[in-house]
């Protein structure tokens, strides 16, 4: 019975870190607008963008907000832009063409909020970062495997090291989504919380309008929600001062291993414990490990982590972190409501935990925040927020084959 309380608190915390359905709608609008903008007159990529589609966390419904001192809602949205290979010859050529096309002329829409990265171009909105990675498909193998291709890796300060990197993020996202267990009872409970949180979120963000057809976005797999909690925990663990110079473990690796090791019994606490242990076991090794995209093995998901001088050390650090998370969640399940709070705060942050507790007390009509009983929620229901199952129509074919609207004010 106490486990139900733990599940409810964990779900409430997850609701506050994920991309709300209304913001998902904003993200879709924005990448549709970007697609059209790339096709404008005088764009270096006019008639050269074949399609744009989501990749990474947003494609599997596992986006969480970034951590910052102000506790703002900042989300990272990742897109792939397939570009005609005739645009250039080197990795730098494609990144530069995409950068110039998005940035545009002085005074234009994205001029002051566009940054070039090593593998992508970033548009910095006040509430999200949109990373657009250029891809080309040039080989026979690329043409025979859906959406396999090459992305650019080119640091402007180290162009002698530029290279193309094999990629099939679309295939990986499909594999992860297909591997997630369907636990309808959990998904329905989570959808209730998702919708409640989204209404509260919208009350604070008058400029965002509710998105239509939110049902699929609100119904998440228990494994996806557990993955989001693990990602949040990793954010906190790897933000420690003694790790500030270390590269973080790639979330795509966590996502793949979570999907392939899903428990799916309907308990969120059990899912976090199980996934943490399985991922920890994977990296609990004295030998460097390589994780590949199962849909396209040339796509090496660990190509930049761990770094060469910290191969075993970083793997061991990740493993130890996740073993510790599993132990703490197992301990929390045995504690009273009051005693759970300190550990949840350590794992996921003070503000998130405080708000989760406030909603828990309100939902369950508890009169005191000092209650030490093993509280059993009235309904056992999880109240949460989020998006989950990503839209099946996650691609945009510019310029006029999309029905996405634009946000003129962005």
pLDDT in tens, the chain (410 residues): 346 899 999 999 998 898 887 888 888 889 899 999 999 999 999 999 999 999 999 999 999 998 765 555 689 999 999 999 999 999 999 999 999 999 999 999 999 999 999 999 999 999 999 999 999 999 999 999 999 999 999 999 999 999 999 999 999 999 999 999 988 888 888 877 777 665 555 445 434 333 334 335 557 899 999 999 999 999 999 989 999 888 999 999 999 999 999 999 989 999 999 999 999 999 999 999 999 999 999 999 999 999 888 889 999 999 999 999 999 999 999 999 999 999 999 999 999 999 999 989 988 887 654 454 444 444 433 333 222 334 344 444 443 332 212 233 33
Report how far residue 64's alpha carbon sits from residue 14's, in angstroms, rounded to the nearest whole number: 9
CB 153 within 8 A of CB 233: no
Which residue, chain included where needed, has tokens 């242990």? 277
Q: How many CB atoms lie within 10 A of CB 272?
A: 33
Report how far residue 352's alpha carbon sits from residue 10's, in angstroms, rounded to the nearest whole number: 10
Instruction: Give the pLDDT score at 399.
Output: 37
Instruction: Give the pLDDT score at 407.
Output: 30
First to last CA, the chain: 48
Phi first, then psi, for residue 397 (nearest 5°) are -110, 100
For CATH 3.30.460, the residue range(s) in the chain are 21-177
Report how far residue 45's alpha carbon sits from residue 50's, in angstroms, rounded to the nearest whole number: 10
Report how far residue 130's alpha carbon sits from residue 30's, in angstroms, rounded to the nearest whole number: 9
Instruction: Give the pLDDT score at 392.
Output: 41
Q: How many CB atoms lie within 10 A of CB 306?
A: 21
Q: Pick from 19, 52, 402: which is nearest to 217 by CA?
A: 19
Q: 274 vs 9, 14, 63, CA distance in Å? A: 18, 17, 21
Helix 251-260, helix 268-283: angle, nearest 10: 110
CB 108 within 8 A of CB 99: no
Q: What is the pTM of this model?
A: 0.84
- Helix or strand run (H / E) with residue 135: strand 128-136
Q: How many CB atoms lie within 10 A of CB 51?
A: 17
Domain 21-177 in CATH 3.30.460? The answer is yes
């Amino acid at each position: 019975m106490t486990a139900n309380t733990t599940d409810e608190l964990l779900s409430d915390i997850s609701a506050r870190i994920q991309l709300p359905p209304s913001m998902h709608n904003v993200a879709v609008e924005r990448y549709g607008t970007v697609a059209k903008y790339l096709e404008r007159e005088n764009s270096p990529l006019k008639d050269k963008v074949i399609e744009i589609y989501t990749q990474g966390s947003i494609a599997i419904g596992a986006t969480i907000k970034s951590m910052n001192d102000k506790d703002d809602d900042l989300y990272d949205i990742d897109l792939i832009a397939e570009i005609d290979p005739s645009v250039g010859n080197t990795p730098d050529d494609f990144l530069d063409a995409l950068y110039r096309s998005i940035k545009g002329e002085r005074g234009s829409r994205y001029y002051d909020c566009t940054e070039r990265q090593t593998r992508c171009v970033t548009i910095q909105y006040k509430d999200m970062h949109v990373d657009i990675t250029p891809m080309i498909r040039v080989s026979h193998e690329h043409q025979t495997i859906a959406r396999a291709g090459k992305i650019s890796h080119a640091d402007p300060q180290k162009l002698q090291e530029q290279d193309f990197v094999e990629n099939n993020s679309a295939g990986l996202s499909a594999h992860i989504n297909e591997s997630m267990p369907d636990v309808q009872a959990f998904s329905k409970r989570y959808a209730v919380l998702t919708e409640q949180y989204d209404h509260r979120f919208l009350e604070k963000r008058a400029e965002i309008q509710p998105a239509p057809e939110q049902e699929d976005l609100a119904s998440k797999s228990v494994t996806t929600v557990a993955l989001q909690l693990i990602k949040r925990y990793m954010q906190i663990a790897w933000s420690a001062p003694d790790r500030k110079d270390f590269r973080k473990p790639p979330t795509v690796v966590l996502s793949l291993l979570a999907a392939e090791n899903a428990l799916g019994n309907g308990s969120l606490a059990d899912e976090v414990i199980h996934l943490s242990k399985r991922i920890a076991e994977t990296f609990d090794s004295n030998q460097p490990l390589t994780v590949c995209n199962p849909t396209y093995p040339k796509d090496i998901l660990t190509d930049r982590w761990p770094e060469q001088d910290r191969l075993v050390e970083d793997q061991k650090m990740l493993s130890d972190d996740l073993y510790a998370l599993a132990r703490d969640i197992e301990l929390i399940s045995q504690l009273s409501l009051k005693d759970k709070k300190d550990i949840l705060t350590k794992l996921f942050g003070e503000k998130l935990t405080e708000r989760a507790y406030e909603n828990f007390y309100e939902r369950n009509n508890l009169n005191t925040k000092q209650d030490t009983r093993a509280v059993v929620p009235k309904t056992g229901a999880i109240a949460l927020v989020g998006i989950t199952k990503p839209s099946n129509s996650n691609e945009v074919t510019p310029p006029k084959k999309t029905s996405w609207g634009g946000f003129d004010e962005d």
